[in-house]
Structure 1
Amino acid sequence: MQYFDIYIDSTKGIYTYSDKNDEFEIGDNVIVPFRNIKKTGFIIRKSLKENFDFKVLNISSKVKNSLKLSEEQIKLIEWINDYYLASYDSIIKAMIPKNVKIKYNNIYCINFEKNNLLIENSTNEIIKHIISLATISYSTAKTKFKKKIIDSLVEKEFLSLEDNNIQVKIEKFFELKEENKDVFEYLYKKTFIKKKN
């Protein structure tokens, strides 16, 4: 276990958090619990203390697809803070341009390593919804891929054709990858669900 001093967005000072699994580094942009809400911040330095008079909370996670402050930037932040007595908040806000907005998404998708569970739970409403996202019209399928390919996959029961729509067959979805990787990847990507943060 290690401890870090972390600047938390829109605060003046830094706060100590623990890293139970030794998975974070100085400069990482992380998510931490702060006054009953999740906030983001940057790891500024390792804390050399190991005993605290207060409860030390654990870092929740890294901010995905985020900036990481370099060693030089961290040294500069510490120097400006020490020399000019400037707050971490004002230094970091000046260092990172205002117009840089980091947007990231969580993407939920089917885990085909658990294909047996997927088939067993094929009547689950969530799984049915995700699989239904991989539905395209027959005319679109013929445009994206050759008619002969689509018809062959329907005939071999990798796909089904109902009401002029092409759907994947859940029990053969993973096998479709071996049969036709392009069709599989196209339909698989349609099942991704993005959660914007």
Structure 2
Amino acid sequence: MTYLAEHDSLTGLANRRVFGDRLDEALASGPGPASVAVLFCDLDGFKAVNDRLGHQAGDALLGAVARRLRECLDADDLIARLGGDEFAVLLTGVDAPVRVLRTADAIQACFTDPFALDDETASVGVSIGVAHGSQGDSGTDVLRGADTAMYRAKALGKGRTERLPARRRDDVAPLVVTQPQRR
């Protein structure tokens, strides 16, 4: 019963509630100026796949995305499906920006190859927003900052990663972190 309350039934990933709880715990206990990072991921082109192949294929695609994310990220990274085609990754103990960049690049790389769905293939990308938090910050604010950065990534062309600077979490114009090259 606990498993069902804490995991997304479609993907088996942690759900939004568990993600929020773990983020709040990390912010309450994490020392340092930027000890926590949230990567908010939204699929690019998911609606087109759902419309073209149907909701059953869309559900299969979400499951395949979850499997790829598990494969490309470290076992210690918390991955959650927040709802729809939105996922989030929680990194704790972040002592250098390079770890966050490496994680964002790994996520982007998960989407370079198409996904096999029964007799069809589907290609989707991902837009990622990154926000940092430290002890005493609100989990809601950090998640909102990552969401804002993700929308900025979509507005600037999708398939990219944007970072909301820790010192300016209320800023709606995040900085570019990386834009992967598509094959």
TM-score normalised by structure 1 residue count: 0.22
Instruction: Pick the structure with greater CA Rg.
Output: 1
* More RCO (CA 8 Å, sep 6+): 2
